Amino acid sequence: MSFTPSNEISLSDQLLAIELQLSTQMKALQYNQHVAYIYDPVEYAYNLHSQFTRKFCQSAKKILFLGMNPGPWGMSQTGVPFGEVKVVRDWMRISGEVGHPIKEHPSRPVLGLACHRSEISGRKFWGLFQELCKEPQHFFRHAFVYNYCPLAFLSSSGKNITPAEFKADERKLMNQICDEALCKIITLLQVQMIIGLGKFAEKRASLAIKEYQLDNIQVVSIPHPSPRNFMVKDWSQEATLQLIRLQVIDCFTPSSNSI
């Protein structure tokens, strides 16, 4: 990986450039016959995505929450990781129009902030930090959120296909591209701790920093807030307890100034 952060370009614009390059590389790959639709919200929801990035990622972040890929009612609608519509509109105070994927599934339309469906994962994730942080700037003071893979994949029926569901040989090139982008972002943001949302994200982060020989980065996880994660009955409680065990819970209180 050949990457050196620039002192002449804003941190947020450097991050956006990495993401746009990643999206272009990922869309150039050939996917199996089960993938009938590909959504790239970094591209078609760039208006909202760039607002989110420029508003909340202007400085180094010691903690990076790492998701897997966009969900159909969250980032696929708003361009924000785990971006449940009401959270993005009312808490983060981001507004504007979004475009559409080149090919759109009729049962998974992109309506942007006009979408009435609520992403449960996003509602749980941001709901916890709304409670802990009160205001978004208290969360983003020390942390940021990023998805390992920028694309959403749908079957012909509209079923969401996650990166973890691809066969190992299919994931190899995907992982190589996403690993490099992740490590560029870790370097750019001077990340010290990666908190994977689920074991897939934790594993990919661990392998990526090993491959690119990034030192002094702690990789851990909290449960994924997906409703399909049946092992977790009270996600908010489980996640809070893990943040306490990791000794980072104080980073998300309104009075916190340092880790």
Mean pLDDT of 176-191: 98
**Does 157 reside within a domain?**
yes
pLDDT at 107 over 60: yes
Judged against a pLDDT cut of 80, whether residue 1 lies above it is answered with: no
User: Does position 20 have pLDDT exceeding 70, yes or no?
Assistant: yes
Query: In this structure, are residues 182 and 210 in contact, taking their beta carbons and an 8 Å threshold?
Result: no
In angstroms, rounded to a whole number, what is the distance separating the alpha carbons of residues 72 and 231? Answer: 22
Cβ–Cβ contacts within 10 Å for residue 63, how many?
A: 22
Mean pLDDT of 60-81: 97
Q: 152-154 and 160-161 as β-strands: parallel, antiparallel, unpaired?
A: antiparallel
Give the domain extent around 106.
Answer: 33-251
Tell me if 70 is assigned to some domain. yes
**Cα separation of 227 and 175, whole Å?**
25
9 pLDDT band (50/70/90 cuts)? very high
Letter string b/e over residues 17-41, b meaning 16 or more CB atoms within 10 A of that residue's CB? ebbbebbebbeeeebeeebbbbbbb
Percent of the chain scoring above 90 in pLDDT:
88
**Residue 4's pLDDT is what?**
86
In the prediction, which pLDDT does 169 show?
87
* Pairing of β 63-67 and β 193-197: parallel
What's the total number of domains in the chain?
1
Please determine, for residue 257, whether its predicted confidence score (pLDDT) is greater than 70: no
Confidence band of 256 (pLDDT split at 50, 70, 90): low
| Assigned domain for 7 exists | no
Q: In terms of pLDDT, which residue wins out, 258 or 3?
A: 3
Task: Kindly report the backbone phi and psi dihedral angles of residue 64, in degrees, each rounded to the nearest multiple of 5, phi listed first.
Answer: -120, 115
Q: List the CATH number of the domain containing 149.
A: 3.40.470.10
* pLDDT over 70 at 212, yes or no: yes
Mean pLDDT (the chain, rounded): 95
In a domain? residue 186: yes
- Is 257 part of any domain? no
What span, in angstroms and rounded, lies between the C-alpha atoms of 61 and 49? Answer: 18
Cβ 187 vs Cβ 9: under 8 Å: no
Supply the pLDDT for residue 88: 98
Q: Where are the beta strands (DSSP E) in the chain?
A: 37-39, 63-67, 143-147, 152-154, 160-161, 193-197, 218-222
Residue 203, domain member (yes or no): yes
**Both structure tokens of 68:** 């897997």
pLDDT at 254: 85
- The whole-number pLDDT of residue 258 equals 52
Tokens 């009312």, residue located: 90
- List the structure tokens of 53: 């990035």
3-class DSSP state of 197 = strand
Q: Are the beta carbons of 208 and 70 closer than 8 angstroms?
A: no
The sheet carrying 63-67 orders its strands as 143-147, 63-67, 193-197, 218-222
Give mean pLDDT, residues 27-51.
96
pLDDT of residue 2: 73
Q: Against a cut of 0.75, is the pTM above it?
A: yes
pLDDT digits (tens, 9 = 90+) for 129-179: 999 999 999 999 999 999 999 999 999 999 999 998 998 888 999 999 999
Percent of the chain with pLDDT over 70: 98
Average pLDDT of the segment spanning 183-210: 97
The reply to whether 15 falls in a domain is: no
DSSP state of 88: I
| Residue 21 counted as domain residue | no
